[in-house]
Amino acid sequence: MSFFTHLECSKCGESASPTELLNLCPCGFPLLARYDLAGVARALKKTDLLDRPSHMWRYCELMPVADKQEIVTLGEGFTPLIRLDRLGRAYSTPGLIIKDEAVNPTGSFKARGLSAAVTMAKKLGATKLAIPTAGNAGGALAAYGAQAGLEVFIYMPRDTPTANRVEAEFCGAHVTLVDGLINDAGMMIADRKEREGWFDVSTLKEPYRIEGKKTMGYEIAEQLGWKLPQVIFYPTGGGTGLIGMWKAFQEMEEMGWIGSERPRMVSVQSEGCAPIVRAFEQGLEEAPAWENAATFASGIRVPKAIGDFLILRAVRESGGTAVAVSERDIFEAIREVGCREGVFLCPEGAACWAAFKQLQARSWIKPDDQVIIYNTGAGHKYIDSLLTFERRWISESISPPNSRSTQAQ
């Protein structure tokens, strides 16, 4: 059974109904799900989880729905931790771990958020769902919408990786390509949704995607024996996963499952789109929009995040930091981790690896830190961008690092 009680505004603290289809609080800020945590603590022992199914709904008491009949799932979550022994030795950090979200349905961790959001949207009576997306969220909504039997409308930038458009179309969604970025796509949906009868599932503009993503926080704790790591690297677009994990840690502490210690949260962005990093460095509480955002790590090409104040607050409270990395560093990171560990990172995950190297070189990472690097999606979804980069490199006559392929003469 679920111990979900109500929604609460992340800004003004007002309560909102758990049984209505809602977007933002009337004050304009995100609504967060609240639970009877004392009730969960009485009803559920950590060891009860051991024989639960290996997907994110194993934490059903802490999810907005627990009824198997109502859950829209493709088996998302409970993704593996991969220990990076060789790189751990090379960078004097034996506790290096990748949380590999690439194995989720639809090839990215967006599956978690959309499984939760579509479950709730269907339960609360939505019939048509619309989403602005930088790529992976569109593919995930198309899949979960198909599974739920709901109609899906997707607005994505024209230069989104091909895989994202094709997967969405093959799952039956109506895809509109936009000359602009995710924020422009969001405005187009806002203009049309009333007339079309769409429910807007933009991240943090509906309350439940974050509940899906928070399960990453529960999983890390459970998979590490209820001890959190010292550092988490998170590639930050809208920041839903970072805010979600932070929320999960708070819930776990309130239930007495963990103590008050927290990982240092590192928000990672590309130098081509780094609003959170800039705001962090300037000591701001909100992050002004980034002009002319450009990065091939499309999942973090988000110029303005509605939850910016929540991201910045979590990073600061955690004693963490925010780091921007170059496009070239991201590309090289994909090769390095691929060649040395056999994990084919997505560019966003690779940005985290590049950021780890920066902070390790500055001794911000200590040799005995346990460090989690989020690989938020599958490298395979970015083949077109990777080939473009490789071609550019060749035309600049710089040989790509560690290249292994040769041409037959």
Residues that bind ligand PLP (CB under 6 A): 108, 110, 136, 203, 235-241, 299-300, 346, 348, 376-377
Which residue's beta carbon is nearest to the bound ligand PLP? 299
Residue 110's closest CA among 31, 212, 22? 212
Q: Which two tokens stand for residue 362?
A: 């500055």
Amino acid occupying residue 177: L
Query: Using CA atoms, how far apart are residues 100 and 42, in angstroms rounded to an integer?
Result: 32
Q: How far is the CB of 375 from ligand PLP (least distance, A)?
A: 8
Q: Which is nearer to ligand PLP, 3 or 344 (CB)?
A: 344
Residue whose CB is less far from ligand PLP, 18 or 241: 241
Shortest reach from residue 298's CB to ligand PLP, in Å? 8
- Which CB sits closer to ligand PLP, 115 or 236? 236
Shortest CB 360 distance to ligand PLP, Å: 21
> Which lies closer to ligand PLP via its Cβ, residue 93 or residue 240?
240
Least separation in angstroms between residue 381's CB and ligand PLP is 8
Residue nearer to ligand PLP on the CB measure, 263 or 377 = 377
| Tokens standing for residue 278 | 């800039």
Q: Minimum CB separation from ligand PLP for residue 154, in Å?
A: 14
CB nearer to ligand PLP: pick between 44 and 242: 242
Residue with Cβ nearer ligand PLP (108 or 147): 108
Nearer to ligand PLP, 145 or 275 (CB): 275
Cβ-contact 199, 20 below 8 angstroms: no
- Residue 293 CB contacts under 8 Å (≥ 6 apart), including other chains: 181, 272, 273, 301, 302, 303
CB of 395 to ligand PLP, least distance (A): 27
Report, in Å, the least distance between residue 48 CB and ligand PLP: 29
Task: Provide the 10 A C-beta neighbour count for residue 282.
Answer: 9
Q: How far is the CB of 86 from ligand PLP (least distance, A)?
A: 24
